[in-house]
Amino acid sequence: MAQTSLQKRHSDLAESNRQLEILSGGIFANGELETFKSKISQTNQFPLKAKKLEILQINVGYMCNQVCEHCHVDAGPDRKEIMTKETMQECIEVIKNTGAHTLDLTGGAPEMNPNFRWFVEKASKAGIKDFIVRSNLTIIRANKKYYDLPDFFKKHNIHVISSMPHWTRGKTDKQRGDGVFDKSIKALQELNERGYGMPGSDLRLDLVYNPSGAFLPGDQAAMEKDFKKALLEDFNIRFHNLFAITNLPIARFLDYLVASENYEDYMYALVDAYNPAAVENVMCTNTLSISWDGYLFDCDFNQMLELPVNSKAKHISQYNEELLEGRNIVISQHCYGCTAGSGSSCQGTVA
Amino acid sequence: MSNYYDDKDLRKFGKITEWNEELGNKFFDYYSEVFKEGALTAREKSLIALAVAHTEQCPYCIDAYTKDGLQKAITKEEMMEAIHVGAAIKSGATLVHGVQMMNKVNKLDL
């Protein structure tokens, strides 16, 4: 497992420009593989355009208690980018007036933002239908001050979505760090005790699977069946749905692909698995991502690549849903990650 | 040609249809049909394919079904056990011919 973020290591891949250079150079520059723009142009899907906003995703900071090998955020304990209460207040105003039905809080570990609970309490009163917190599970067991998070989530009817790369200790700890599996199991059991993830329960608990290496995820429905069977038999754990998410070739996962000489094969695999039907429903067309400092992006990945929205409204202070609808989505070759096979989004497959 | 096997050639497998479209397409249709979920799960089929890939000693197939196994969240322990099944059948198939040798010896020897 990585010990520190790329930023802390002063890796040149900590710079988004260097990542974009890699994604546009080599096999894409010499024509060996088609660029994403050229590929979607073949089916008249260029330019990709934003439809009606459905999901507002807010990244409240890059600080995290884990340093996962594949993290597209390059998150970790050494990251200091944290959303301030002032920006949160601006977000609350937006949430009160948005037409989106889903609010999705992410990070880092969103719970590590010192104003996380204040923000959740305020936001939960805004009448959003589905309020998601992406919790990495281990945070619940990381420190006493987080032990009551399952109760806090329940009180505010939070939809918990958590990462779980495998139902075995070995594969989980290899990707996410030693001890992550045992803590995650304990956290899932605690969520189950509060009613989360139980059959028929309104307290939604979904898991996210993303591959622990340079390969694409398998069929989401089949994986869900395997995860459910194993977690129930081995640990008496229940959950609602499994979202199979493709790792996008940016940040730490890109660093891993390049260092392990898997980059070209991985890009080939993504391009070979390209599915125009997935382009139709790709998440950037119904999602807006807000960064810790209030800037607007088409998705969390573009946020990390510092590719801002193509709109006059670039910051939460200029937020205007009518202006943002119909904007051209900013693309590069990382977008192949969302259009491979059955497609990939923060809510799992899309095709 | 510097090598008989080049891992990049696996990407060109689909091109075999270019020299005989009808038979090539029939093969690929059959192939994809075989691996669909049926009485056996896609996961079980992947493990069988991995074991056979080894007994056939096909480098392309080994690469393909190792990757396919990872994609299906098959563990390395499961993969290795599957290969041992293939190896056991291979060695068993060799050894069972020992009976033929014994028969022949018994017939020819005084």
Give the tokens for residue A41.
């142009």
Interface test with chain A among B6, B46, B71, by most A beta carbons within 10 Å? B71
Cα angle: A185, vertex A189, A190; to 5 degrees = 120
User: A176-179 — which CB contacts under 8 Å span 24+ positions?
Assistant: A176/A1, A176/A66, A176/A68, A176/A69, A176/A138, A177/A1, A177/A66, A177/A67, A177/A68, A178/A1, A179/A138
The residue range of the domain holding B73 is 41-108
Are the beta carbons of B71 and A211 separated by less than 8 Å?
yes
Contacts of A103 (CB under 8 A, 6+ apart): A55, A56, A58, A95, A123, A126, A128, A130, A131, A132
Cβ contacts below 8 Å, chain A against chain B, sum to 34
Q: Does A169 touch chain B (CB under 8 A)?
A: no
Are the beta carbons of B72 and A218 separated by less than 8 Å?
yes
Average pLDDT of span A227-240? 96
DSSP class of A267 = H
Give the pLDDT confidence of A89-121 residue by residue, as tens digits. 999 999 999 989 999 999 999 999 999 999 999
Tell me, yes or no, whether B92 lies in a domain: yes
For position B58, what pLDDT does the model report? 96
For position A214, what pLDDT does the model report? 96
Tokens 């006493």: give the residue. A144
Q: Does B87 touch chain A (CB under 8 A)?
A: no
Query: What confidence category does residue A2 fall into, taking pLDDT thresholds of 50, 70 and 90?
Result: low
| Cα–Cα distance measured from residue A183 to residue A187, given in angstroms and rounded to the nearest whole number | 6
For position B76, what pLDDT does the model report? 95
Q: Domain with B62 in it: what CATH number? A: 1.20.1290.10
Which residues of A fall within a CB distance of 8 Å from B72?
Answer: 218-219, 222-223
Tell me, yes or no, whether B17 lies in a domain: no
Q: Higher confidence at residue A38 or residue A4?
A: A38
B14 min Cα distance to partner chain A (Å): 11
Tell me, yes or no, whether B36 lies in a domain: no
Contacts of B93 (CB under 8 A, 6+ apart): none
Cβ–Cβ under 8 Å, residues A351 and A280: yes
Tell me, yes or no, whether B4 lies in a domain: no
Query: What confidence category does residue B1 fall into, taking pLDDT thresholds of 50, 70 and 90?
Result: low
Give the tokens for residue A262.
């898997």
Closest CB to B70 among A209, A211, A223: A211
Q: Does B15 touch chain A (CB under 8 A)?
A: no
Query: What confidence category does residue A175 fall into, taking pLDDT thresholds of 50, 70 and 90?
Result: confident
Beta bridge partners of A209: A244
Instruction: Note the pTM of the prediction, 2 decimals.
Output: 0.91
A177 min Cα distance to partner chain B (Å): 18
Interface test with chain B among A172, A226, A245, by most B beta carbons within 10 Å? A226
Which residues of B fall within a CB distance of 8 Å from A219?
Answer: 42, 72
Closest CB to B67 among A215, A217, A222: A215
Tell me, yes or no, whether B19 lies in a domain: no
CB atoms within 10 A of CB A50: 20
Residue B73, phi-psi category: left (phi > 0), alpha (psi -120 to 50), beta (remainder): left
Interface test with chain A among B43, B45, B70, by most A beta carbons within 10 Å? B70
Query: What confidence category does residue A301 fall into, taking pLDDT thresholds of 50, 70 and 90?
Result: very high
Give the pLDDT confidence of B17-54 residue by residue, as tens digits. 999 999 999 999 999 999 999 999 999 999 999 999 99
Tell me, yes or no, whether B2 lies in a domain: no
Give the pLDDT confidence of B48-62 residue by residue, as tens digits. 999 999 999 999 999
Tell me, yes or no, whether B51 lies in a domain: yes
**Which domains, ranges and CATH numbers included, belong to chain A?**
12-338 (3.20.20)
Which residues of B fall within a CB distance of 8 Å from A342?
Answer: none
Q: Higher confidence at residue A176 or residue A283?
A: A283
The count of structural domains within chain B is 1
Mean residue pLDDT across chain A: 94
Going by C-alpha positions, the residue among A332, A299, A315 that lies closest to residue A72 is: A299
Is ipTM beyond 0.90?
no
Closest CB to A218 among B11, B73, B75: B73
Which residues of A fall within a CB distance of 8 Å from B37?
Answer: 222
Average pLDDT of span A40-48? 96
Question: What percentage of chain A has pLDDT greater than the value 70?
Answer: 99
Give the pLDDT confidence of B79-104 residue by residue, as tens digits. 999 999 999 999 999 999 999 999 99
Are the beta carbons of B70 and A215 separated by less than 8 Å?
yes
Are the beta carbons of B70 and A213 separated by less than 8 Å?
yes
Is the pLDDT score of A1 beyond 70? no
- For residue A169, the chain B residue with the least C-alpha distance is B75
Question: What percentage of chain A has pLDDT greater than the value 90?
Answer: 90
